[in-house]
Each structure stands twice: as C-alpha cells, then as structure tokens.
Amino acid sequence: MADAARLGAIDTVMHEDRLFPPSAEFSAKARIPSLADYEALWNEVAADPVAFWEKVGREELHWFEPFTETLRWDEPQSQPQVAEWFVGGKTNASYNCLDKHIAEGNGDRIALLWEGEPGDTRRISYVQLHKHVCKFANALKSLGIQKGDRVSIYMPMVPELVIAMLGCARIGAVHSVIFGGFSAEAIADRNNDAGAVAIITADAAWRRGKVLPLKQTVDEALKKSPTVKHCIVLDRVNEAVHWTPGRDYWWRELTRNASDDCPAEPMDSEAPLFILYTSGSTGKPKGILHTTAGYTLWSKKTFEWVFDHREGDVYWCTADCGWITGHSYVTYGPLAAGATCVLYEGAPDYPDKDRFWEIIDKYNVTLFYTAPTAIRAFIKWGDDYVDKHDLSSLRVLGSVGEGINPEAWMWYHRKIGGERCPIVDTWWQTETGGIMMSPLPGAIATKPGSCTKPLPGVIPKIIDEVGDECGPDQGGMLTIAHPWPGMLRGIWNDPERYQEVYWSKVPGKYLAGDNARCDKDGYYWIMGRIDDVLNVSGHRLSTIEIESALVSHPAVAEAAAVGRPHELKGEAVAVFVTLKNAPPSDELRDELKKHVRKEIGALAQPDDIRFTNTLPKTRSGKIMRRLLRDIAAGKEAVGDTSTLEDYSVLASLRQDEE
C-alpha cells in the first residue's frame, strides 16, 4: 500500500474473490464460446486494428460507396486529435437499421414491441418501421430541413421517438435528443448550443399516471431559442396545447400525405449523425459529437458481442433515448443488428412496483439491460414484486451507468437471473459511443463489481499521476491507447474543451475521466471518477469501494462517499446513506462504521455518516457526488445543477445537516 501511495496510485481496499463462469450450456451456443476464443479475437484486433476493422466495416455495413482508407489518425501532434474512420465511404445509419434487413428478407420481423405506460401496445415490423421513418423523413424535407441541419427531439419513449431519430439520420439531419424530463432552460441551452432549426416534441407525456406537458415546456424554451423555426408535435395524450401557426405542425398532419418512399441519403462516413449532451454528473454537460459509419458499426458489433444476440431473442433496454444508452442500445445497435426490441414508455413503479417483471413475463424477454440505480430500487422494494412473475425467459442480464455494488450484483444474479444468466456489467460513456469493457457472456467468467475485460479493439492503459503505467491492482486513470470506430469526434462548438478534457493530461491516449485498476487476472474494476478520489492521510481511496462496503450491510439501500476537508488527515470520509427499512439511529451509525472497518479497513472508515431519504442524482439516475462534496464541506452546492433530477433533494440534505 505504501508503495502504491508513493507512485501516486490509488489504494485498493476491496477484495472480491467470487467467480461465476458461464454454464457449459450457455457457452456451447454462444457467438464467442470460450476465453481462448475471446483472447484470440482480442489479440487479432490489437495486432492490426486497421485490418480487422477494414474487414468488419466492409462486411457489416451497407455502403453506397466503399471507403478508401480505414483509419486516419495523425497521432499525436494534431490539435485537437480526431480520428476518422472509413474515409471516403458513403453509408447511412437509417439504411443499416431498416432497408438492409428488408433487402435481406427479414422485413417481417418485429422491430419494436412497444408498451405504453397506460397499457396501450404496438407491434411494429421492420417493413412498417421503414415506412414510418420514410414518411417522417419526407415530412422533415417538406419543411426545408436539410442534410447537416440540427434537429432537437424532446419526446416520451414512444415509437415516434425512434422514428424521429431514424428520420433525421435518413436525410442526414443531425439529431440532438433532449431527455423528456428537462426544463425549458435546459432545452433552450441545448437548442442554442447546437443551433437547432427544428424541435420535435409531443403534446404531453405520461409519467406515473400524470400528464407532463411537454409542448408547454417547449413553448417556454422556444422563447429563448432563436434558431428554431419549426416545431413538430406528436399527439400522444390528447392535451390541449398552445399553437403558433407557421411554426407548429402536428406530426399526424405533416406525415398524412407524405410519401413512404424516401431513399436514404448517402452520407460521408464522417458526417455528423448526432449530438448528445452528457449526463452532467461531473460538471456542465458536453455536446458529444458522433458520426455516421464508425458509430453505427461500433454500436451494432458491441451489441452482438455483449448480448450474444440471436434471431429469436427479445431484447429490452430500459434506458431512455435521452441518454447515450438509449441511442446505442435502444435505437442504433439493436436495430442495425435486426433485433426485436421492447420499448417501454413509463416508470418502473407504475401502476405498481412490478411493472418491469410483468413486461419481461409478458413479452418473454431474453436479454435485459438496466441500470444499478434501478436495481438498488428493486432491492429496496422487496422480492415479493419479483416473485409474482415468471422470469425464466431471461438469458443475459446487463448493467450500465454506474458501478454496480457487488451485493446488488448478487441480488440481480440470484433473484432476476435465477443464478442462470450471465451478468454483463458494461463500462462505457457517451464519448465512447458504445460498450468498451464488459464480459462476453459465453466466454468470460464474471466477478461481482468488475466490468471484466476490454472488448476486441479496446486497449485500456491505467496511468498513475506521474504518467507511468500502473501495475496489477494499482488504481489510476483509465485511458484508451488506440482509436476505435465508435469514439467521439469532438465536443460540439468547443474544440478547446475537447482537447483539454480528453487529450491534454496523458498525451496520445484518450482520457476517460474514470479511475480503474486491473487485477492479476486481467479483470478491470472501475473505481469512480477522477475528480471524486478521496485523499485520506496520504492514501488515495476510491468512492465505489467504500460505497460497496456500506451497501453490503443489510440495512443499507444506497450509499455515496465523498471527501471533506480535515485538518490532520487532509480529507475525512463522509458518507450519505439511504436505508432499506431500518430507522436511522446512532447505534446503526456506529454499526456501519464498524462494518466498513471490518470489510475494507480502518483507513476507509467514515468519519461522518449521514442518513438521508434520497441522494442527489442526475436524471439518468447517477449519484452526483460533486454536490454532496459541497454539502459535506458545509458549503452551498455550487456548479452546474441543470441535470439534477430533483432540486428539493439539496434543500433537504442541507436541512438534515441542521
């Protein structure tokens, strides 16, 4: 440990030895059936990434014009550093998600199995989805929207959200999806940053049986969005809305007479596909830019690898399209792979806390992908909700968005997976376009809390503060050493920030902004955000290890650990804890301190434990530790709070303090 501290590495205090190999039966049928196969593939790509991606790019995407150069990357001098993939080629993301399947004779396959929150349902085949997308693309054209124009999308999780994304992609307009819970202010900021010419919305959305007035929020936002000339409104809830003639159009009317023939626009490989603002966990959201060919290929390939997707699978990703997971693993990846996808509009606890399990049961979902925040809520709600339903159709379970605490992982494994389904804990970011590290379910034995190994084409390097590569079990900054097709191409409108955030600290390597360690078996463990490291008496500690130790106590539902200034130690460990059912008490506080000491050692023992009803989270469900850090230090929470889910949480946390 002392050695690690001297090198500027992060101490590892958590030890997790449980290992869960895939069953022989699962592996026998898997795309990548063994560790040796995975290693061979990984090595093949690492030895010559250009040759590999050239072959896969040609085979798996449809090209209007073939590319002439697989990768252009003038490492490391160019400022800012941007990789270009499949240069000279022309393709279209919407074509790859729709027309390609129809051309291959799979048009009648179901693309979307949609379930509305009130219980209405729709089944949409690839042929039907293609028609909807073409009509909508023609409607966009009828408003004069062109290739390269930016279009904001602010909608509930209805099929038209996917249709809108693919409709933009079809004509080469660049979409910017804004999560349907954001304020008028946040929408206006994004409209203005992107220079959007149009916005697509709905009259309203259903949320826990209540009506959220989306159009009204958009009206408010458009007062401050001078670039937006058109507003297309889907009639979802039948709410009365204000109307600005000449600017507002009903979706229904605009598409009614539009032709369902709209050939996909051949787009340069590097033409922008979308802009997406990050979750804002660590600061002001960044408008991440992804382009056409590399992103489409990466989302498709990683979807197939990680979920071991096969014909006949029913796949459900619970993410909202307002986040990157909803782009890569609700829309582009699964549709490019020709998957049948469940799309659900509403909340997990409406009308009751078993809605997810009911949906899995009803549609015989085989591949299920959700977030740790949801899993922790399910645990808190209790097993009875799960027990009411037959979940035996499931074969792979996924997790994304935050680290999953090992005890939450174990619950997911036992209770949802019936100890039969591999769990794919997928580490990636808005910036990476798709999954970077994850178990391949037939090949890699899992360890609870580890995202295991890098996907083929991903070369992680863990770097300490001095710039050297860390050894086994030494925590440091996670970087990626070689470009991959799905990587971001920039921050919209802000090349300096792009250079500064991702490329300035470790030259020539992509800086992820997370810390990680690699254990002696080559398994990676994400240790939390670089900015969130705690520095206690010269030891650098990771947030997630302390939090996982707390969550392993039966009374604890969720925990967030932050450092607060301390005269002697530099920083003291402060934790915020939500409880399952137990009432808060001083005894429990002492017990939790002892528990952490026992699990991971005296160094990590919290000085302060604060019980709270909720933690501040982004709207995508991630704990916002930077706000808690301010509160623990007794300061006003400063910095960007535009993506905070519930503003009252901050006030109540401050009250708890008094």
Question: Does the annotation place 325 within a ligand binding site?
Answer: yes
With respect to ligand ATP, which residue has the nearer C-beta, 159 or 406?
Answer: 406
22: CB partners within 8 A, 6+ apart = 30, 422, 441, 442, 443, 444, 445
> Shortest Cβ distance from residue 437 to ligand ATP (Å)?
8
b/e map 343-358, b = 16+ CB within 10 Å: bbbbebebeebbbbbe
For residue 476, the SS3 value is strand
With respect to ligand ATP, which residue has the nearer C-beta, 49 or 401?
Answer: 401
> Shortest Cβ distance from residue 283 to ligand ATP (Å)?
6
Residues 355/322, Cβ–Cβ less than 8 Å = no
With respect to ligand ATP, which residue has the nearer C-beta, 128 or 281?
Answer: 281
Question: Does the annotation place 109 within a ligand binding site?
Answer: no
Question: Does the annotation place 210 within a ligand binding site?
Answer: yes
Question: Does the annotation place 208 within a ligand binding site?
Answer: yes
Q: Which pair of structure tokens corresponds to residue 39?
A: 């290693």
> Shortest Cβ distance from residue 548 to ligand ATP (Å)?
11
Closest by CA to 339, choosing from 370, 313, 301, 308, is 313
> Shortest Cβ distance from residue 141 to ligand ATP (Å)?
32
Which residue(s) pair with 558 in the sheet? 578
Q: Which pair of structure tokens corresponds to residue 500?
A: 């500064």
Question: Does the annotation place 207 within a ligand binding site?
Answer: yes
| 625/610 Cα distance (integer angstroms) | 14
> Shortest Cβ distance from residue 626 to ligand ATP (Å)?
9
**Residues 37, 335, 337, CA angle at the centre, nearest 5°?**
25
With respect to ligand ATP, which residue has the nearer C-beta, 33 or 528?
Answer: 528
Which residue(s) pair with 316 in the sheet? 342, 368
Question: Does the annotation place 121 within a ligand binding site?
Answer: no
With respect to ligand ATP, which residue has the nearer C-beta, 61 or 367?
Answer: 367
650: CB partners within 8 A, 6+ apart = 616, 627, 631, 637, 641, 644
Question: Does the annotation place 294 within a ligand binding site?
Answer: no
| 11/165 Cα distance (integer angstroms) | 44
- DSSP letter for 168, please: H
Question: Does the annotation place 357 within a ligand binding site?
Answer: no
Residues 195/150, Cβ–Cβ less than 8 Å = yes
Question: Does the annotation place 553 within a ligand binding site?
Answer: yes
With respect to ligand ATP, which residue has the nearer C-beta, 130 or 447?
Answer: 447
> Shortest Cβ distance from residue 135 to ligand ATP (Å)?
32
Cα-based torsion angle of the residue sequence 127, 133, 135, 136 in order, rounded to the nearest 10 degrees? 160
Q: State the DSSP H helix or E strand holding residue 211, giving kind and residue range, or none if neither.
A: strand 210-212
**Contact residues: ligand ATP, CB under 6 A:** 278-283, 285, 323-324, 400-403, 425-427, 429-430, 451, 512-514, 526, 529, 622
In angstroms, the first-to-last Cα distance of the chain is 38
> Shortest Cβ distance from residue 142 to ligand ATP (Å)?
34
Q: How far is CA 491 from the centre of its chain?
A: 17
- DSSP letter for 245, please: T
With respect to ligand ATP, which residue has the nearer C-beta, 211 or 374?
Answer: 374
Question: Does the annotation place 190 within a ligand binding site?
Answer: no
With respect to ligand ATP, which residue has the nearer C-beta, 150 or 622?
Answer: 622
> Shortest Cβ distance from residue 282 to ligand ATP (Å)?
3
Binding site membership: which residues? 207-210, 325, 401-403, 425-430, 514, 529, 537, 540, 551, 553, 556, 597
Q: Which residues belong to the annotated binding site for CoA?
A: 207-210, 325, 537, 597
Annotated binding residues for Mg(2+), written as ranges, equal: 551, 553, 556
Binding-site positions for ATP: 401-403, 425-430, 514, 529, 540
